[in-house]
Structure 1
């Protein structure tokens, strides 16, 4: 698939966002140097609404910030959640002391990063709450509704939440109304062709030319059924019947019900076809005596150039109709009349957005002595972490191939970006005497740049073990073992993964255990053992069925035989540490 991109796609999200904000700067202002922005003319003295998620789904999320909608947007990398620092910065930019409501799709990375952002905000005295959106009703059974994905239903939920905030409701009341709306929304989509992420050479999944997939997620998560291509009316009837049989609103989807309906294009489906979908759907609803109170036919929630569409149905009552009807305006979504919404604001500052295209400056790796190192001085630690970063960055293509087999295909991009940011920080820390501070800094850089679940998990690999430790100028085997055990505990606590779940934990557990069993050995022997433990753990993931990420939606036969990309990154990290200590660099 041909894409209109620059040669270097590293900053594609930032550059795209800068273009958006330059085009619509009469409405929006960027939050410092973050990939976040806020609406300039938000109503005062109210609960602030902050939305966000991965990029690549435009106009979600950027197109739903404005009058009567969200006050700020936190933008993650392509198909990856924004990081906690970015989310917090967006919240601080719009907090008016009435509380902040965070809203986002229910995905592991978004859940982890927004949860951590809330913790950071609350630590600074902010009152917060969150509503996770899970309208994709075929992605998990009703008894596990918290595992369902958020897709096009985001739009209606943002609309109602924004109106509730602007109505001056308390944070508790805004949450109540929003959750009520969220729980009366269901969505089901059909995919006709795949998408390709910027920087990848191949699609993230495949759909045969003569096939369609019902229920596939926006990132290529497995659907409920693959069939031969069929006429529009048959597709719509199949989706509508699934709503009546399996949706959470099925029992109330009957004669006399009032609904809002959205037909949403997934990226490459033209409006001519979307209108045809709505026409076929309307006939079915009308036949069943269901009144369409409000309707939307447009492209709102996409996955790059994915082909297909989704149908969203919101079951209405008088309260929800009031908030759905409230006026709102953004360049991509508007309802009713909103006085002054489209007027050109007086902007005193004609500041231009900064385009930071500087990559990480090159660094020369220096060791404190020739041969094998017995301990790690602070300066050795700094150089070792830079060496490890370079090693992982070089493995971006390999990690992308591995992750594309059963994942979203973005792990290589994420690890490369995180390690580049870590390296950039470390290069400037020459002379630092606290070795733990170097791990902590590198971890924070990864946490606040990678996004997705990997950002929290791999940032924690460095950060959590070093955080709170008394300053130390030199690290030995026992120090590393203690630090990595702390990191492992926190990673498992935050993400929930256990041995055998086909995650990075499968490589980290044996590596940590190897370190702990070699605390009386030399640094090199301990790291050799840790490296071998990580390698074996990585190999073992080929035998496991995934419990997390996109791979958990795949059939066992599609997952067995493929190693986990996160476990592979863990192996490269310990291998890099061993190579540096041994002098094999």
Structure 2
């Protein structure tokens, strides 16, 4: 388990701070993550490969920043994607005029946030492309490879893209080669115990004594099946046979092929154990006629203290092999000898102040607001305070629910997001903000601080409400209902979820519909909200009977049956807490008109 920490919610930030201090020669911290340490480490006009994902996987992702590897890494909260703002900040600090490739594992939060960052970069005139790594064969069938998650195969794809960029190839060629590498990479993993998040008193999943989990994820997701604990040779045979069973398109036989090999420790399997397994992996691949090229054995993509291993086969071609074997030097990965970097001062493009605003919400102008809107902003701030208190009180419960078939990070992410939103709202109110601007500031802070899918979606919800309320008119029940309807539409559009998918949407849509009906029937806002909150609570409870069709829980659908969706539960808790703030506002004569 993770024993050394301070505040669990600050663990990722403090770990990144210590990492950057320990590797100042190679990396430099910028808002959102790290980039290469010197401006001269990246040639002007070179494509920048920016990778990223949640914390808890070291040496992925920050440990892979350096010559011959990534130009920068955006680092999110524990097991949660970095926010779009973080990705954008790191990319701006890393780019040197040749465009940017954003590469990440195929998880819903990463797809959302990296995609939003790419859109923003493109709008700013920075050529940008994205690539989601999909190497885990256990997470979807071969015919649905686009649904597979990215695990240790990240390294093969990142290394290919970065070496292509280092060779001076243009963005289109870097993207093409990275996609080719992704299409020719397969991974499979096993585990003997789950991992424990900082501050948690139990692992995200457990494996019975004498058994092992097969086909697990790197975020503490449980395996798809269990088998008896094998010997080292038997484990090697399972890993190799599984991957040889599915070859890249157009490859009829492994015989005569060349492959990069990664035997990856997930956290607490020691190097000596990995070498015992690898001796048999090497024998089995040789017997199958596969020639291994520059194999990697060690911890490359971890999951805190998870006891497990994964095997990756990267099927090489004549153009991929030189990129796999090219030299690289990063804090946690070295191969060959990189060309010396000339000493020099960081360029203006590399300065954090020139490329990234450390607090974009704080420095956003606050437009003039009417007194009725400022009064409504006080009610909105009270609601944000109630949200923060409710999330804090239920964070552990939300994490336990999420861990049944997911990664258990929902409570931590919601706590970070709600705290940031409340603080941003308070600062906005102090600067005279109306209800709309206050909620917009809170939305940006929630999305940026929480990251992950829930961070992006709660940012959408608060921003939609803020847009509907505005800063000039006196908000009424109809305006709030319109904002909630827009929030539901935005969440479904961004998250690509529908009712029945076992997500937040299953509580949000019934809440929006009930609120609209009650307001349309003439009910005051507080009473209408109460009715809608009751509908949301019932809908959230009903998700226990659904099977997930999206997100990290999808591969573990049967495990989640009987447990409600964490996102739906948190939404139901939040709207009930907001009702308390609305009821309190209507009880005050000065706030009567704002409720």
Is the contact made by 1:39 and 1:65 (CA closer than 8 Å) also made in structure 2?
A: no
> Match for residue 527 of structure 2?
525
> Match for residue 360 of structure 1?
none
Is the contact made by 1:515 and 1:529 (CA closer than 8 Å) also made in structure 2?
A: yes
> Match for residue 412 of structure 2?
413
Is the contact made by 1:102 and 1:130 (CA closer than 8 Å) also made in structure 2?
A: yes
> Match for residue 328 of structure 1?
328
Residues 407, 534 of structure 1: alpha-carbon distance in 2 compared, 3 angstrom cutoff: same
Is the contact made by 2:220 and 2:303 (CA closer than 8 Å) also made in structure 1?
A: no
Residues 317, 464 of structure 1: alpha-carbon distance in 2 compared, 3 angstrom cutoff: same
Higher helix share: 2
In the TM superposition, what are the counterparts of 1:144-183 in structure 2 within 5 Å? Answer: 144-183=144-183
CA drift at 1:224:
4.1
Q: Unaligned regions of 5+ residues in structure 2, if any?
A: 352-357, 359-371, 588-595
> Match for residue 496 of structure 1?
496
Q: Deviations over 1:148-183 (max 9, x none)?
A: 011111111111111100111111111111111111
Q: Unaligned regions of 5+ residues in structure 1, if any?
A: 357-372
SS, match of residue 69 in structure 2:
coil
Match of 2:536 among 525, 534, 546: 534
Residues 472, 388 of structure 1: alpha-carbon distance in 2 compared, 3 angstrom cutoff: farther
**Structure 2 residue 32 is matched with structure 1 residue 34:** yes
> Match for residue 67 of structure 1?
67
CA drift at 1:322:
1.5
> Match for residue 464 of structure 2?
464
Match of 2:550 among 537, 542, 548: 548
Q: Deviations over 1:507-528 (max 9, x none)?
A: 1111111111122211121111
CA drift at 1:500:
1.4
Q: Deviations over 1:288-327 (max 9, x none)?
A: 2221122111110100011111111111121111212221
CA drift at 1:412:
0.9
TM-score computed with the length of structure 2 as normaliser: 0.90
Larger deviation, residues 115-124 vs 459-468: 459-468
Distance in structure 1 (CA, Å) of the matches to 2:86 and 2:347: 26
> Match for residue 570 of structure 1?
571
SS, match of residue 197 in structure 2:
coil
TM-score computed with the length of structure 1 as normaliser: 0.91
Is the contact made by 2:60 and 2:300 (CA closer than 8 Å) also made in structure 1?
A: yes
SS, match of residue 537 in structure 2:
helix
In the TM superposition, what are the counterparts of 1:392-411 in structure 2 within 5 Å? Answer: 392-411=391-410
Distance in structure 1 (CA, Å) of the matches to 2:577 and 2:119: 33
Is the contact made by 1:258 and 1:293 (CA closer than 8 Å) also made in structure 2?
A: yes
Residues 106, 240 of structure 1: alpha-carbon distance in 2 compared, 3 angstrom cutoff: same
Is the contact made by 1:379 and 1:433 (CA closer than 8 Å) also made in structure 2?
A: no
> Match for residue 189 of structure 1?
189
> Match for residue 13 of structure 1?
12
Q: Deviations over 1:225-276 (max 9, x none)?
A: 3111111111111221112223446944422111111111111111111111
Q: Deviations over 1:8-63 (max 9, x none)?
A: 222111111111111111222111x4344444222332111100001100001111
Residues 540, 376 of structure 1: alpha-carbon distance in 2 compared, 3 angstrom cutoff: farther
Residues 136, 296 of structure 1: alpha-carbon distance in 2 compared, 3 angstrom cutoff: same
CA drift at 1:506:
0.9
Is the contact made by 2:63 and 2:331 (CA closer than 8 Å) also made in structure 1?
A: yes
CA drift at 1:553:
1.9
Is the contact made by 2:2 and 2:199 (CA closer than 8 Å) also made in structure 1?
A: no
> Match for residue 339 of structure 2?
339
Larger deviation, residues 414-423 vs 136-145: 136-145
Distance in structure 2 (CA, Å) of the matches to 1:344 and 1:10: 38
Distance in structure 2 (CA, Å) of the matches to 1:30 and 1:195: 27
> Match for residue 451 of structure 2?
451
